[in-house]
Amino acid sequence: MTEIEAYQAALEAAEHRTPAALRQLVIKTLVDVMIDPNTPPSARINAAKVAGQITEVAAFTERKEVRTITSSEDAKAKIMQELRRLTNEQAVDATIIEADSLLAELAGIDTDATPPAPDTPQTQE
């Protein structure tokens, strides 16, 4: 091997030092094996299997998908359970507010109006 060939070989080897370059080299080699008509069929099949396992190809990757579907009633029950749990704990840094004002705010009711005093009976006119 001449000095020039050694430099060329070193430069080619340096090109394949990154993971991305190695991945490209592996893919190119597998494709070359698969499309070469002189390659024995068993080697072509093995190359195809390996190429199918490459993440980007994912021809043989088993995928499982788990979906959790909850109804609005179930979601509401979970939220209320968590709120009950949180209100039963002894929080030292929490500000105590009335839940009625929060419910009114969520319902879109005017919270600026002064509610009647709890001891005052309401009369209908």
In this predicted model, what pLDDT tens digit does every residue of 11-67 receive, in sequence order?
887 776 777 877 888 888 899 999 999 999 999 999 988 888 887 776 767 778 888
Both tokens assigned to 63: 């995928």
Both tokens assigned to 65: 């998908």
Indicate yes or no: pTM above 0.85: no
Longest dimension (CA), the chain: 110
How many Å apart are CA 26 and CA 46, to the nearest integer? Answer: 13
**Domain residues of the chain, as ranges?**
7-52
How many Å apart are CA 109 and CA 116, to the nearest integer? Answer: 15
**81-to-26, 31, 87 alpha-carbon distances in Å:** 54, 57, 10
Phi, psi of 8 (to 5 degrees): -65, -40
